[in-house]
Amino acid sequence: MRELYPAIEPYRQGLLPVSDLHTIYFEESGNPHGKPVIILHGGPGGESQPIYRQYFDPHLWRIVQFDQRGCGKSTPHAELAENTTWHLVEDIETLRKHLNIDRWVISGGSWGSTLTLAYSQTYPDRCLALILRGIFMLRPKELAWFYQEGAGYIFPEAWEQYVDLIPIEERHDMIAAYYRRLLSDDPQERSLAAQTWSIWEASTSTLIADLQLIQRFGSDKFAEAFARLECHYFVNKGFFHSENQLLDNLDRIRHIPTTIVQGRYDMVCPMFTAWELHQAFPEADFIIVPDAGHSMTEVGIRSALIEAGDRLMQSVATFQTSP
């Protein structure tokens, strides 16, 4: 099993206005002259983490991270206006141009895998390679599995806390019920809904419960952005034209070297989604981690992601540095 690369600090941090309303936080670490990789965080509404820098060799990679609209150090916090998949796709492209990067590797897990697919299908000529983890394509059956039925059979104690907040007569549509509370004028109702929603995901993200993760997801500021933005994207069906849009547009990226890493016992983004992507995209390397859930910090997933980055660097001579 591969260990993380040593912890490092960013050599550059900045704020980039992407609209009259939104400003995104970004940072760079590793080698300023290295092969560029951008790491897309999950959620929607999560935030980039320092540990992400440790998945790529800092001597060889120019590592770019940013907080998506409305979360982390980006402003305004938890803002839903002008916040869609396609706004985020354009933010990634705006950041690429701002950093004067020609082409880069895109790495993303969970919602980050959704955004990686959406960006690469929109700007395939700007992608050197893709690393996907914990595949999520925001289709109705995926949302139903985690928020309506399915995962609760595996984590009944966590599920009970998640559903108890919602009256029985509203439980036929849990996402809509939470969304109403997350938009409430009552700050206490909003906060309780956000924390409960976020703790449900943290409680199911690892094969063995991670109490520190649960505590972080349950903190007021993180939960507010995480829950509001996730619900916002989910009730709007990811702002996709059709539920299979990402599968239907795979022809645009078949030529891009791609690695898919999936934990066998992922409850948040279940195995069937990764399997369907694999069947539709056989050109990609497909790695099933047999003893892992959803989190990128689980040993097998961590090792597979680090190895994927190392393999790309070893074959870097095959990449063209300009489109």
Catalytic residue, from 198, 294, 295, 303: name it.
Answer: 294
Residues 39 and 64: beta-carbon distance below 8 Å = yes
Encoded amino acid at 212, one letter: Q
Summarised one tens digit per residue, pLDDT across range 175-223 is 999 999 999 999 999 999 999 999 999 999 999 999 999 999 999 999 9
CATH number for domain 12-139+239-318, candidates 3.30.390.30, 3.40.50.620, 3.40.50.1820, 2.40.10.10: 3.40.50.1820
Catalytic residue, from 67, 91, 210, 266: name it.
Answer: 266
For the sheet with 23-30, list strands across it. 12-17, 23-30, 61-66, 35-40, 104-110, 127-135, 258-263, 285-289
Instruction: State whether the Cα torsion 317-106-266-310 is positive or negative.
Output: positive
Q: How far is CA 259 from CA 46, 86, 289, in A?
A: 23, 23, 13
Rounded distance between C-alpha atoms, residue 262 and residue 67, angstroms: 24
> 258 — alpha (psi -120 to 50), left (phi > 0) or beta?
beta
Q: Is 59 a catalytic residue?
A: no
Rounded distance between C-alpha atoms, residue 137 and residue 249, angstroms: 12
* CA trace torsion 286, 290, 292, 295 (10° rounding): 0
Encoded amino acid at 21, one letter: L
- pLDDT at residue 21, rounded to an integer: 98
Summarised one tens digit per residue, pLDDT across range 225-284 is 999 999 999 999 999 999 999 999 999 999 999 999 999 999 999 999 999 999 999 999
pLDDT band at 76 (very low <50, low <70, confident <90, very high): very high
Cα atoms in the 13 Å half-sphere on the side-chain side of 257:
14
Q: Is 266 a catalytic residue?
A: yes
- pLDDT at residue 316, rounded to an integer: 56
R_g (Cα) of the chain, nearest Å:
19
- pLDDT at residue 315, rounded to an integer: 80
The token pair at 39 is 């790491």
Q: Which helix (H) or strand (E) holds 90?
A: helix 85-98
Catalytic residue, from 110, 113, 205, 295: name it.
Answer: 110
Any idea what the Cα angle at residue 141 is, between residues 276 and 228, rounded to 5°?
115
Q: Is 173 a catalytic residue?
A: no
Mean pLDDT of 48-74: 98
The token pair at 235 is 């009730």
Taking the domains of the chain in order of start, what are their residue ranges? Answer: 12-139+239-318, 142-238
Q: How far is CA 139 from CA 108, 111, 269, in A?
A: 18, 12, 11
The model's pTM is 0.96
